[in-house]
Every structure is written in C-alpha cells, then in structure tokens.
C-alpha cells in the first residue's frame, strides 16, 4: 500500500507542477535542483552557477488561443462574448449557420474587438419560449483593424536586424513559401546565424509574442511553431518577426517599442529549413491578413533574393524592463507551492 501511495503521490505532484507551468508565459524549461537545506526545487528560473541542477526543455507544440468566443449567459439564454487577449484589435465575423426557434434577424455580423479586452456580441433568445431551440455558429478572426482597400505605396522602414550583413534568401512572391499566401506574399526571408539581434523597424506597441517553441523542420506540422514578435504601428499596420530563438524574446505584449530597439534574437523555429528571419508588414484588408510591399531605408529598390543587406546599427543592450517575463518572483512562488506540496505528500 505504501508503494502505491508513493506512486500516486508522485503522479499527483507531477500533474500539479505541469498545471503550474502551463500558466506561465515563459516556461519552456524546467530546472530541478536541491536548495541549501537539501530540499528539491522545481523552477523555470536557472539556479546560481555553483548549484548542480538537471534541466529539461518542455516541448511546446501548440500556441494558446488568444481570441475566443464563449457563452457568458445560461443554456436557455446564451450571451456570446468575444475575449481578445492580444494587445491590439481584431475583427470578428460571426456566422449563424443553422438555428431553430431563435430570434435571429441577421445570420452574419461583424465587430471590432479591442485588445486586451472583451466585447458582448449577441444576446440569443428563443422565438417561442415553450419550444426547444438550437443554433450552430462559426467565427472568422482577422488581426488588426480593417484598412481601406486601395493601392498602397511601398512602406519605407528600417532594417529588422542590427550589427551585421546578411543575404535575402527569399523575397516577394518567393516560390518556396511566400507565393499563394497573402500574409507572406510581400515577406522577406533573411538568412542569418542564430542569436542575431532582431530590432523594431518602426515605433509601435508589442501586440503578441511566442517564445517557447523549440522544434523546426520543412514540414507543415511545424507551421504554427515559430517564435514570433508582432508589433502594431500607429497606421494600423503590423510587423511580424518570425522563427526567433527560444527564450530570447526581450519585450512583453503591451510594451511600447522604438525603432531600432532589440525585440529578440533570430533562430530556426517553426516551418523552417535553416536559421533565418521571416519578416513582413501586414494589415487587415477585407477580412484577410495581407502583407504589404516594403522598401528598406538606404535601399530604394524592391528587395530581391540574393541581395546583401548591411546594418551599421550597433548592437544595443535592453534595459531590465525589456527582459522576458519569467521573473524570480514567479519562480519563488512556484518553489513555495512545490515545497508545501512535498510536505503534504511526504
């Protein structure tokens, strides 16, 4: 019985630890070590250099959905509410595909939901309160506020990296992965070694980040596993910096950034065959995330594959406020919880 109890307790402890870690923004690594009192510590914070530890990377294969719709009412009186966890707006179109005995005059409705925040979309009522009812819905979500659909001049922007010279490996409408994908048609891939500083091309607000993905490959199973920084600009366009190195994002969602500020470091995550930066400026055009033509400052012509880009910008050092949000305070909280759990389970 004692052995079974120990196994059960161990499984319970591991489950609780995984639940704790699932709530962290940057929890792709787990460190296990003993403190000065000989007690085991489980943390996402690396211990001091003189402490022996075991390290394990938690493989993250799916990003958490940051825009969702849920029923905040009751089963009989549904209230559909959109929740936007991004630090920027999204456009939502709700389609009521099927409904029975419902007071619905318009089966397709559209809203702009600011972020982070939530917005009540629909109060649903039965037409006849004494009869059963039913409905089926689906939703389209597009990042950003919609821009007027008209020809746009190429946007002049700074280079998205600092302190180096690198070659464009794929440019506009590249046949490998850009052509046929509106969000990437005007994207630029720049081959560069891992841990090259990636900087903001314009001032803006960090709308979203992904920091914990570690896998890569030339296979669609990795398509959604790129570490990214997305920055919202004042003209409603958004810059996407993708395939970044795990655990190197230097900014937080909601943070204001300036042109040339370090956002993170290049890597090889997601749908990628080698270390590079995938960069694009995008906007919401007609409920579609569309990439826009760009020109880099100092380069008057359209970016071309094989072109050498040279950045003379010195590599800056971010302030502590720009570092990833995996803090000692969070780690200490985890340590305290785990220690109490161990005491209860022993």
**Strand, helix or coil at 70?**
strand
Residue pair 278/189 in contact by the 8 Å Cβ criterion: yes
Check residue 3 and give its pLDDT: 45
Residues of the chain with CATH 2.60.40: 67-143
Count the alpha carbons within 13 Å of 250 in the hemisphere toward its beta carbon: 21
Residue pair 264/248 in contact by the 8 Å Cβ criterion: yes
* 274 to 189, 194, 226, 266, 267: CA distances (angstroms): 11, 9, 12, 11, 8
Summarised one tens digit per residue, pLDDT across range 20-62 is 444 443 445 666 777 778 787 777 677 777 777 665 555 544 5
Where are the alpha helices (H) located in the chain, listed in sequence order?
2-22, 328-345
**Total-model pTM:** 0.75
67-143, CATH topology level: Immunoglobulin-like (2.60.40)
Check residue 112 and give its pLDDT: 94
Residue pair 136/105 in contact by the 8 Å Cβ criterion: no
- Can you tell me the distance from the alpha carbon of 258 to that of 129, in angstroms, rounded to the nearest whole number? 56
pLDDT at 303 over 90: yes
Strands laid side by side in the 67-71 sheet: 67-71, 79-84, 117-123
Crossing angle of helices 328-345 and 2-22, in 10° steps, is 160
Residues of the chain with CATH 2.70.70.10: 155-322
β-pair partners for 168: 190
Average pLDDT estimate for 134-148: 89
Task: Work out the pLDDT band at 243, boundaries 50, 70, 90.
Answer: very high
Count the alpha carbons within 13 Å of 170 in the hemisphere toward its beta carbon: 21
Check residue 287 and give its pLDDT: 87
Summarised one tens digit per residue, pLDDT across range 76-110 is 888 889 999 999 999 999 888 888 888 877 778 89
Average pLDDT estimate for 335-344: 48
Check residue 14 and give its pLDDT: 45
CATH class of 155-322: mainly beta
Residue 49 DSSP class: T
DSSP per-residue string spanning 240-260: EEEEEPTT-----TT-EE-TT
- Can you tell me the distance from the alpha carbon of 274 to that of 218, in angstroms, rounded to the nearest whole number? 9
User: Over the chain, what is the mean pLDDT?
Assistant: 80
Residue pair 305/169 in contact by the 8 Å Cβ criterion: yes
Give the residue among 155, 255, 260 at the shortest CA–CA distance from 199.
Answer: 260
């Amino acid at each position: 019985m004692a052995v079974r109890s120990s196994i059960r307790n161990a499984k319970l402890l591991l489950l609780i630890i995984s639940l704790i870690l699932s709530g962290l923004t940057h929890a792709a690594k787990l460190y296990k070590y003993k403190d000065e009192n000989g007690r085991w510590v489980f943390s996402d914070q690396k211990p001091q250099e003189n402490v022996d530890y075991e390290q394990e990377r938690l493989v993250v294969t799916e990003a958490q959905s940051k825009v969702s719709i849920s029923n905040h009412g009751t089963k009989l009186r549904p209230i559909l509410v959109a929740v936007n966890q991004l630090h920027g707006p999204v456009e939502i179109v709700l389609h009521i595909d099927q409904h029975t005995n419902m007071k619905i005059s318009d089966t397709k409705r559209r809203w702009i939901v600011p972020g982070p925040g939530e917005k009540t979309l629909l109060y649903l009522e039965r037409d006849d309160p004494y009869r059963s009812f039913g409905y089926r819905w689906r939703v389209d979500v597009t990042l950003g506020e919609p821009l007027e659909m008209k020809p746009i001049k190429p946007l002049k922007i700074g280079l998205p990296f600092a302190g180096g010279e690198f070659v464009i490996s794929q440019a506009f409408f590249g046949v490998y992965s850009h052509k046929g994908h509106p969000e990437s048609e005007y994207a630029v891939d720049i081959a560069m070694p891992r841990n090259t500083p990636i900087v903001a091309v314009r001032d803006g607000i960090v709308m979203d980040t992904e920091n914990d993905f570690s896998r890569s490959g030339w296979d669609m199973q990795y398509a959604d596993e790129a570490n990214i920084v997305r920055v919202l600009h004042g003209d409603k366009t958004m810059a996407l910096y993708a395939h970044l190195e795990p655990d190197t994002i230097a900014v937080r969602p909601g943070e204001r950034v300036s042109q040339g500020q370090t956002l993170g470091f290049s890597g090889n995550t997601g749908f990628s065959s080698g270390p590079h930066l995938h960069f694009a400026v995008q906007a919401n055009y007609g409920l579609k995330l569309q990439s826009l033509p760009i020109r880099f400052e100092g380069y008057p012509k359209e970016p071309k594959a094989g072109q050498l880009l040279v950045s003379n910008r010195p590599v800056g050092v971010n302030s502590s406020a720009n570092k990833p949000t995996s803090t000692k305070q969070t780690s200490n909280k985890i340590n305290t919880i785990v220690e109490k759990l161990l005491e209860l389970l022993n």
